[in-house]
Amino acid sequence: MVNGIKEYEFQNECVEFLIDKTAAYNSKQIITVKAPTGAGKTVILIKYIDEYLKNTDGKTAFVWLCPGKGNLEEQSKDSMEALTPQRDTRNLMYSMLSGFAGESVTFINWELVTKKGNTALKDSERANLFEKIADAHKDGIEFIVIIDEEHMNNTKKADDVISAFAAKHIIRVSATANKVSHQEYYEIPEDQVINAGLITRAIYVNEGVDERKEIINDYDYLLDLADDKRKEIIEGYQSLKLPIRPLVLIQFPVGQPETIAAVEEKLASMGYTYENGMVNIWMSDNKVIGDDLTQLDGSPAFLLMKQAISTGWDCPRAKILVKLREGGSEDFQIQTIGRIRRMPERKHYGLATLDYCYIYTLDTQYKAGLLSSMDKAYQVRRLFLKDEAKGFSLVKELRNLDFDGLGERETLVKVHDFFKEKYHLGTDKQVNRENLETGGYNFSHEIDSKILQGLFRTTDEMSEDAAKKRISIRTTVNTHTHGIYLLHSVDEIKKVTGMQSQKVKNILRRMFSKGKKTRYKFIALDNNDFYAFIINNVKQLKMDFKSVTAQMGGKQLSFNLEPKTAEFTIPEMEVYKYSEVKKQQLFRLNAYKQYTNEFCTDETRSLPERLFERYCENNDKVEWFYKNGDTGQQYFSVVYTDSLLKQWLFYPDYIVHMKDGSNWIIETKGGEQSGHSKNIDIQVGNKFNAFKNYAEKYHLNWGFVRDSSEDLYINNTEYVDDMSDDSWRSIEEAF
């Protein structure tokens, strides 16, 4: 039996659902439970396991996988031992020694089986784990795998471990789960958890932030607001004679030393230090935690933390979250709110101050989960290569790291000329400024942001209304505190160009900042205005710099630049994404055995890819076709250079082997619809030219394939985007 816990109807209903689905013979393997933070998912799972084992034949072993951060597997194991002391609970090492027994529950820290480094399993131990699993199967043991915080480990290594158990059922539990067709799904409504008094009645975001007031310092402004609210909450508890001291969580996305130091200095000026016990810190490389941190009357008033403890940590007196920006444009991860939503005594008090939780952040984007719906819309399956494709090989190209693109001056000339032509810029700096403003550039003296403000009952409401309830704020530029923002903006441009950060920064200064060198200067901004210009316009700058790289350079692999080469062979085993279909059909001509139309759906393939695979499948001239990977050394790649002569790899989509022994290499791109191009690849021209050079060098058939009105057209002459051009011909004319 389960000892000493209060019964909640919504928990019991979830337990009943899990029992029904895991007992039924026709249930889907994966069962996803969306449970808001504070719903008591640990208790739900313990009650479910206990009930299941009481009513089955004793041949089931449970495996409970937890994220490693925060020692959640130890907390969950301790909870089960307290609530159901009669159950056989273990850690991973115990089960690896004695085997996975029927009616056992093994708690596993994900990092033990997925992380490289000292805490990971050695190769011999990993092999032993798989052997113990195999032994259990031989003994007739069935597995049910529970994946706690399921959004945390969507990796191939994690999938390998899950697959090894060959579980009868996999139960995934998270506060941010999505409903998908190939899984059983159960959602505990957040309203029910609120009404039970387990979590706060509402979430207040940026209470007291005044859009009329210019912010001088982000950290000072937010910490002052948070401390005022903390003191107000203390007064509320004191009015009810409750010995509860609210805790403020200060979250750093990265935890850079200079931002931590700035916050520590601000807190010290307010009278809060490590020395007087009012401040604690929890970082991977720095931990100062008082013995009473999680107690309701604990002395620490502030806890400095990173994203690392967004899961697997429980401190019900935490009421306020200050999320700081270290790069100027980070996303706010909504699941982090769970750390401040629990009610300290599992009940509401009737005072709004105590029944709400509070967030202070200048973030502009809000995300409900770590994974997109696309990531969760499919499953994966291993496929094995057919014998007839095993001897096939091609030369693949790799980047030649001895050459790193154009020099800084040549790059500056190209970027300068692009801006000059696009925005009609010349020598008159005032006219240049007006033209750039017309083109969408912002010349505000302050850093401008639109932030969320308002009261939200549920996290879903917060996600849905994030675009509506916004206010504008202005922050005075401080070149010391905003230096990190500038570096972050420069790094954003670096990502799309491959240029070194310093080169990007130097080019921006030559074009837009005051300085002795006046050549290539469009506008001469002073230092503060230069910071504001780059930070406010980072999205537009990224697009423009990316457009520079996409110009047709006409110098592919010039300067005697030869890419490195290696042999490519088709992998003998591949993991492909698939989604369920009503009527399964085998693709006879795919290079892999058991490749069906489940792998060729709108969840896993683009429209031109789906049309091309079906074309190959119905083509009498084709012996087999292979879908190449998108990235990774094991796949077929071709080197292309952008207009700055920076090298990049691209991975053509398909290899097609014909019955006459010839081979085709095909890249699919978005086609046309109602006369408008669907191609979104800005580098398509440079890739086309590189592909053409590669095919000529190695005497291969090749082509770019696009769709129009669900017919396919191929081009392997000169790239033009307009599909009415004669260079695009029906694919049937080619093969």
Strand partners, 66: 109
Per the document, the length of the chain is 735
| pLDDT over threshold 60, residue 371 | no
209 and 188 share one domain: no
The fraction of the chain above a pLDDT of 90, given in percent, is: 56
Question: Which sign does the torsion angle of CA 404, 407, 408, 411 carry?
Answer: negative
Whether 243 and 300 share a structural domain: yes
pLDDT digits (tens, 9 = 90+) for 606-618: 999 999 999 999 9
- Which two structure tokens, joined as six digits, stand for 531? 């910071």
pLDDT of residue 373 exceeding 50: no
What is the DSSP annotation of 672-688? Answer: EETTEE----TTHHHHH
Least confident of 301-305, 450-454, 552-556: 552-556
Q: What is the pLDDT at residue 115?
A: 60
Verify that 155 and 221 share a domain, yes or no.
no
Three-state SS for 174?
strand
How confident is the model over 494-511, as pLDDT tens digits? 988 888 889 999 999 999
What SS3 state is found at 55?
A: coil
Q: Which pLDDT value is given to residue 459?
A: 82
Instruction: Tally the domains of the chain.
Output: 4
CA–CA distance, 285 with 65 (Å, rounded to integer): 25
370 pLDDT band (50/70/90 cuts)? very low
**Is residue 451 domain-resident?**
no
- Residue 469 falls inside a structural domain: no
Task: Indicate if the pLDDT at residue 31 is higher than 80.
Answer: yes
In this predicted structure, the answer to whether residue 554 has a pLDDT above a threshold of 50 is no
601 and 532 within one domain? no
- Strands 318-323 and 356-361 come out as parallel
CA-to-CA distance for 354 and 42, rounded, in angstroms? 25
Task: Please indicate whether residue 346 or residue 1 has the higher confidence score (pLDDT).
Answer: 346
Residue with the two structure tokens 């069962």: 31
Least confident range from 9-23, 45-59, 157-171, 299-313: namely: 299-313
Residue 326, pLDDT > 90, answer no
Which pair of tokens denotes residue 13? 């209903």
CA separation for the pair 309, 314 (Å, rounded): 9
* 86 plus 234 within the same structural domain: no
Judgement on whether residues 413 and 534 belong to the same structural domain of the protein? yes
The Cα–Cα gap between 47 and 314 comes to: 20
- What tens digit of pLDDT does each residue of 275-299 get? 999 999 988 778 888 889 989 999 9
CA distances from 352 to 210, 237, 274, 342, 459 (A): 21, 12, 31, 15, 18
| pLDDT score at 213 | 86
pLDDT of 556 > 60? The answer is: no
Q: What share of the chain is helix, strand, coil (3-state, %, to 5)?
A: 35, 25, 40
Mean pLDDT throughout 312-325? 84
In degrees, to the nearest 5, what angle opens at C-alpha 435 toward C-alphas 430 and 441? Answer: 105
Residue 161 within any structural domain of the chain: yes
Query: 490 and 589 share a domain?
Result: no
| Confidence band, pLDDT 50/70/90 cuts, at residue 303 | very high
644/678 same-domain check: yes
Task: Kindly state whether residues 123 and 44 are assigned to the same domain.
Answer: yes
* pLDDT of 586 higher than 50: yes
Return the percentage of the chain with pLDDT > 70, whole number.
Answer: 90
- Identify the band that residue 253 occupies on the pLDDT scale cut at 50, 70 and 90: confident
- Select from 126, 159, 193 the last residue of a domain: 193
- Is the pLDDT score of 153 beyond 60? no
* Paired tokens of 448: 């401008």
Q: State the pTM of this model.
A: 0.74
Higher pLDDT residue, 101 or 452?
A: 101
Domain with residue 383: its CATH number is 3.40.1350
Closest by Cα among 515, 516, 535, 517 to 525: 515
- What pLDDT is attached to residue 462? 81
Confidence of residue 70 (pLDDT cuts 50, 70, 90): low
Average pLDDT for residues 48-62, to the nearest whole number?
93
Is residue 710 in some structural domain? yes
Band of residue 484 on the pLDDT scale cut at 50, 70, 90: confident
Among the candidates 501, 523, 550, a domain finishes at 550
Instruction: Go through 410-443 and write b for each residue having 16 or more CB atoms within 10 A of its CB, e for each that does not.
Output: ebbebbbebbeeebebeeeeeebbebbeeeebee
> Helix axis angle, 156-165 relative to 123-138, nearest 10°?
30
The arithmetic mean of pLDDT across residues 389-406, rounded, is 88
Residue 450 lies in a domain: no
Q: Is residue 453 part of a domain?
A: no
Asked if residue 433 and residue 301 are part of one domain, the reply reads no
Q: Is residue 139 part of a domain?
A: yes
Indicate if the pLDDT at residue 557 is higher than 90.
no
Spatial CA neighbour of 220 closest among 250, 196, 247: 250
Residue 61, domain extent:
9-193
152 in the same domain as 15: yes
Q: CATH no. for residue 154?
A: 3.40.50.300
Element (H, E) at 134: helix 123-138
Phi, psi of 18 (to 5 degrees): -65, -40
pLDDT over 60 (residue 672): yes
Residues 123, 209, single domain; the answer is no
Average pLDDT over all residues of the chain: 87
Query: What average pLDDT score do residues 104-114 get?
Result: 82
- Say whether pLDDT at 637 is over 50: yes
Q: What is the pLDDT of residue 118?
A: 43
In a domain, 466, yes or no: no
Most confident of 126-135, 145-154, 685-694: 685-694
193, 218, 251 - which closes a domain: 193
User: Which pLDDT value is given to residue 310?
Assistant: 44
SS3 category, 607: helix
**Res 555: pLDDT:** 47
CA 577-582-584 angle, to 5 degrees, is 65
pLDDT for residue 639 is more than 70: yes
Residue 346 clears pLDDT 50, i.e. is over it? yes
